[in-house]
Amino acid sequence: MTDDDRAADRMNLVWKRYDLQLRHVFRIARGARTTVPVMILELHHDGIIGYGEASPIKRYGESPETIEEFFRKINLAPFESPMALENILQYVNTIAEGNSSAKCAVDLALHDWIGKKLAVPLYRLWGLDPEKTPLSSFTIAIDSKEVVEQKVREGEHYPILKVKVGLENDEEMITTIRSVTDKVLYVDANEGWTDKHVALERITWLKDHNVAFVEQPMPAGQFDDLKWLRDRSALPLIADESVLRLSDIPALAEAFDGINIKLMKSTGLHEAMRMIEAARALNMKVMLGCMIETAVGISAAAHLSPLADFADLDGNVLISNDPFDGVRNINGRLQLRNTPGLGVTPV
């Protein structure tokens, strides 16, 4: 092999920023937004392109700039091909602390490339049943009565709604939704209740409104309050902001009944798979969630979803300019495509 051959054979990373437009202003307990920047990563090697995505999480100090800075530090020259996934991910993890969504982009691109190289969809590579994808919820963010009503009607074909609460109008949000529909609700407080007695009162009230569980009722930092709440809660509690990666899980079993795994926090599919196993070992429920993402990130999570109890994978349904086509969300039913890798194509 000449030096030129070797250079041509190298794995090459290319990235591009996209600004995703939200269909509605998206308001949760922490704030509101109308566009979301994401970075799409392409891994080129051996005539195959593997796609990955990073949707930066502000809370953990990420931005399009930090993601780009991280991508620039990656040197894949010592590795022969994406088939060295385990070694590559171990190396990528040591480049810098944090940067979980940037690490996720690399993980997804490697998985997509491998699936394409082997000509199998990821769910098949893992031996999962594509018929077992859980129903995905449709998210209703915090808003005025009129907008909430409109959004509930927009989501009328979805069998489950996920409702954001955690501000002063919690009861109004639920009552408004209940005036339109009686379908099952997942409730997400996004750490909005800071007083444990208030949290318990709200949960007790929610119990009578066909709510399946409550996600992150109180701030991740108030662990003792969360334990107190869990002992008294009439509804299962699911950790979201309290859980990022595998090492967080054992301690959480004391304060939560389940965990919401998001690829952008878990650093991708490789670790998410291990998080699911850890949760199962601790008898915890598993939910798969997402950030606002394109079909790249959503499809990746959908391939894992046959292993989950609950799915909230509507990140790309909430945007109007998805640059990719991938898993289809037909009225909440996630339909995996029988195409290699993540099964995504640029539009």
How many residues bind to Mg ion according to rule CB under 5 A?
A: 3
Minimum CB separation of residue 65 from Mg ion in Å reads 25
Least distance (Å) from Mg ion to the CB of residue 238? 8
Is 215 or 322 the residue whose CB approaches Mg ion more closely?
215
Q: Identify which of residues 68 and 236 has a Cβ nearer to Mg ion in the complex.
A: 236
Q: Convert 268-292 to b/e letters by CB count within 10 Å (16 or more is b).
A: bbbbbbebbebbeeeebbbbbbbbb
**Is 188 within 8 Å of 217 (Cβ atoms)?**
no
Closer Cβ to Mg ion, 112 or 188, answer by number: 188
Shortest reach from residue 11's CB to Mg ion, in Å = 34
Place of tokens 């990420």: 62
What 8-state DSSP symbol labels residue 341? B
CA–CA separation, 262 and 305 (whole Å) = 11
CB of 260 to Mg ion, least distance (A): 6
Contact indicator for 315, 288 with CB cutoff of 8 Å: no
Give whichever of 13 and 287 is closer to Mg ion, judged by the CB atom: 287
The answer to whether 312 contacts Mg ion (rule: CB under 5 A) is no
DSSP 239-304: ESTT--SGGGHHHHTTT-SEEEEEHHHHTSHHHHHHHHHHHHHTT-EEEEE--S--HHHHHHHHHH
Beta strand 31-45 with 48-54 is: antiparallel
**Considering only 20-28, 181-189, 244-252, 263-271, which stretch makes contact with Mg ion by CB under 5 A?**
181-189
Shortest approach of Mg ion to residue 190 CB, angstroms? Answer: 6
Closest to Mg ion by CB, 117 or 265? 265
| Window 183 to 212, contacts with Mg ion (CB under 5 A) | 188
Q: Point out the residue whose Cβ comes nearest to Mg ion.
A: 240
CB of 276 to Mg ion, least distance (A): 17
- Min. distance of Cβ 167 from Mg ion in angstroms? 15
In the bound state with Mg ion, the residue whose beta carbon lies nearer, of 29 and 125, is 29
Type of residue at 134:
P
Token pair 């009230």 is at which residue? 205
Q: Minimum CB separation from Mg ion for residue 169, in Å? A: 18
Cβ distance 344 to 324 under 8 Å? Answer: yes
User: Using CB under 5 A as the criterion, what x/- string covers residues 76-105 for binding Mg ion?
Assistant: ------------------------------
Nearer to Mg ion, 170 or 240 (CB): 240
Interacting residues of 333 by C-beta distance below 8 A, sequence separation 6+: 133, 135, 136
Q: Within 214-243, which residues bind Mg ion (CB under 5 A)? A: 215, 240
User: 285 pairs with which residues across the strands?
Assistant: 258
Q: Which of 333, 318, 331 is nearest to 141 (CA)?
A: 318
Which residue, 93 or 101, is less far from Mg ion as judged by CB? 101
Q: How far apart are CA 140 and CA 138, in angstroms?
A: 7
Give the binding site for Mg ion (CB under 5 A).
Answer: 188, 215, 240
